Structure 1
Amino acid sequence: MNDSDEDIDPLMGPIADLMAEHNLSSKTTTTTNIQKSIEILDQKINILDYLSFLNIHLLFKDIFNYILDIQWYNYMKKIFPKNEQEIFLNHSQIYSSLKKLIFFFIIYTIITLSFPYIFHIILIIVILS
């Protein structure tokens, strides 16, 4: 070892810069670090809330898709009966099932189109308040 090695101050020069980059010689208090970690945690919670909303939105969408599929299947089953006698018997039921199918489709479009916008408006209000 050289005698000059003993004179090197670790708080000066490139070693100090490297330590500062990795917050090893930081002069900040632990309270500021705790506040930063709380802010990061709040941001992660907001992201999780948003993701849970998307899951709920997709769940609603899947439920209405399922209902529409069932209605569509029943409608198609009534439109294409097996013989001519069933055609005359199911004529009035076809009309009512078509009305029901259109009704579910309208509800589906209203919910899937308006639900995200309502959530975004609520999210913006919560962020701004």
Structure 2
Amino acid sequence: MLKKGNKLYSILTGTCPKCHLESMYKDKNPYHLGNIFKMQERCSHCATKYKIEPSFFYGAMYVSYGVGIAFAVAAFVIAFLFIGTSLITAFIAIVATMILFMPIIIRLSRNIWINFFIKYDPKAFKG
């Protein structure tokens, strides 16, 4: 079970990488596409600024490529190797997976990227 203090907790839940007490996103649901990129300015618990510098999250595009490849490989393995579909059907499964999971991949990539730069601090809470 994931516990606070673990980077994986912050990455998978989208919480503040420093205190793990608050969601970084104004709307927690990544499938509300109009709000997918809308983030809080700062954490209300520890005052961590999420957008460290202008264009900070452009680096998440590189992470997104790797995460997307992982999802595509997983779709291929499931469709072609486990289910035994044809290559064309496996390709369609990859495309469908990438479209279906695009909002999750975007959020996950941003979460991974910010966790590269901000470390968990259990004493960060200023409440």
When the two structures are superposed, what TM-score results if normalisation uses the length of structure 1?
0.29
Give the structure with the higher percent helix: 1
Higher relative contact order (CA 8 A, sep 6+): 2
* Structure of higher CA gyration radius: 1
